[in-house]
């Protein structure tokens, strides 16, 4: 089958990319306009743009060091492993919390086991665009005096309790990188309602180097390629050329820079249609979710009460690994690509000082070894949805 549905895609037209060339003429900066638009969309007082989501986390943690001498930052044991990098770059220590099979992210019932007087910050992470209640976390933060940074990298526009995630804690970070439901190929955003934090974040951001000439020359080409290769026919025809560009290695560092005006123009265009695209994702994602939720071979994340997910992907955990491998092959044969995301818990990929003789985070390991992601983006057509459902019915 020539046509293949990619694991992720953001509909981005060539016309939208051409708008970015406005940034090459005149002295107008579009970054502040984009930041203000993003803040308004989120319902936050302040928003800041960066070259990566990891940079936004790094800058936020640097800002926190102005307020506290605490040294530990808590993240889920199953998550994007590169979260370790901004924590260490800020001179802080990553601490892991067990992951839940109910949410596929941090198990709040286990959180008190890792919180202590040296806890600076906790990062609740809305994996795959699924929000969940963080009331108990916020209450614990108030009692114990630590900060909460909501990692909404995969969840821009998701709602919990009537508010957009990322605005419930002290700050929220978002990714604009490939694989997200709001993407300018790379980039990150940080929002906060705290004027005191915003002042320091702005100062730290202004110290970052701007993107160099080579980046400004390449970004239109990169965005154009991204726009094209995520379309099913092109993705299928050129898959062997596209596959090597997928992230498969563990990084040991990252560069912190400012965002670009070219991308800011693209970002403003995408922001205007984010709710529409999220609504499409929600409809497609819920169709798959409802069809698969009673399958005895699977575990799906629970959808929290009074919440609206944005389905960056639909994550599915298999009870048997060989069943997972069989399903992946069957889906590929029917023109559906799937993702494996984070193949191991964080402490299996970075040396965090944990005893490796005994598995300390069995829930995280179980998820990592058995989870695949299904597409839920606007390019996923009804026939492909039927193919996915029929494959799962056959197991």
> Whose CA is closest to 141, among 110, 167, 120?
120
**Secondary structure class of 9 (helix, strand, coil):** coil
In tens digits, what is the pLDDT along the chain, a chain of 395 residues? 689 999 999 999 999 999 999 998 888 889 999 999 999 999 999 999 999 999 999 999 999 999 999 999 999 999 999 999 999 999 999 999 999 999 999 999 999 999 999 999 999 999 999 999 999 999 999 999 999 999 999 999 999 999 999 999 999 999 999 889 999 999 999 999 999 999 999 999 999 999 999 999 999 999 999 999 999 999 998 888 878 777 666 788 899 999 999 999 999 999 999 999 999 999 999 999 999 999 999 999 999 999 999 999 999 999 999 999 999 999 999 999 999 989 999 999 999 999 998 999 999 999 999 999 999 999 999 999 999 999 999 99
pLDDT in tens, 120-130: 999 999 999 99
CATH class of residue range 274-393: alpha beta
The residues pairing with 34 across neighbouring beta strands, listed in sequence order, are none
One-character DSSP codes across 295-353: -TTEE-PPPPTTEE---SSEEEEESSHHHHHHHHHHHHHTTB--B----S-HHHHS--S
> Whose CA is closest to 133, among 101, 108, 96?
108
pLDDT value at position 247? 62
CATH architecture assignment, domain 14-206: 3-Layer(aba) Sandwich (3.40)
Q: Where are the domains of the chain?
A: 14-206, 274-393
């Amino acid at each position: 089958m020539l046509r293949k549905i990619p694991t992720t895609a953001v509909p981005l037209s060539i016309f939208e990319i051409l708008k970015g060339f406005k940034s090459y003429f005149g002295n107008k900066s579009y970054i502040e306009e984009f930041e203000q638009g993003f803040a308004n969309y989120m319902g936050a007082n302040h928003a800041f743009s960066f070259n990566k989501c990891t940079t936004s986390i790094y800058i936020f943690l640097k800002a926190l060091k102005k307020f506290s001498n605490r040294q530990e930052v808590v993240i889920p044991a199953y998550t994007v492993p590169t979260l370790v990098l901004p924590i260490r770059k800020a001179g802080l220590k990553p601490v892991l919390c067990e992951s839940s099979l109910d949410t596929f992210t941090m198990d709040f019932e286990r959180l008190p086991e890792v919180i202590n007087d040296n806890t600076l910050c906790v990062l609740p992470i809305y994996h795959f665009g699924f929000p969940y209640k963080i009331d108990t976390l916020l209450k614990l933060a108030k009692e114990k005096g630590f900060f909460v940074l909501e990692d909404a990298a995969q969840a821009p526009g998701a709602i919990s309790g009537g508010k957009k995630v990322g605005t419930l804690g002290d700050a929220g970070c978002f990714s604009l990188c490939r694989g997200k439901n709001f993407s300018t190929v790379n980039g990150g955003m940080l929002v906060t309602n705290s004027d005191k934090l915003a002042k320091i974040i702005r100062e730290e951001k202004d110290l970052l180097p701007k993107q160099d000439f080579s980046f400004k020359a390449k970004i239109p080409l990169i965005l154009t390629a991204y726009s094209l290769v995520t379309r099913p026919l092109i993705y299928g025809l050129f898959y062997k050329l596209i596959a090597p560009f997928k992230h498969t290695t563990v990084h040991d560092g990252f560069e912190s820079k400012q965002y670009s005006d070219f991308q800011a123009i693209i970002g403003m265009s995408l922001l205007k249609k984010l709710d529409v695209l999220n609504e499409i994702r929600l409809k497609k994602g819920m169709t798959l979710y409802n069809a698969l939720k009673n399958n005895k071979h699977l575990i799906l994340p629970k959808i929290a009460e009074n919440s609206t997910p944005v389905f960056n992907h639909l994550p599915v955990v298999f009870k048997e690994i060989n069943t997972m491998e069989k399903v992946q092959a069957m889906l590929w044969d029917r023109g559906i690509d799937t993702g494996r995301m984070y193949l191991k818990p964080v402490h299996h990929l970075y040396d965090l000082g944990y005893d490796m003789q005994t598995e300390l985070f069995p829930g995280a390991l179980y998820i990592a070894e058995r989870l695949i992601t299904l597409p839920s983006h606007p390019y996923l057509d009804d026939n492909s949805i039927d193919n996915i459902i029929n494959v799962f019915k056959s197991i």
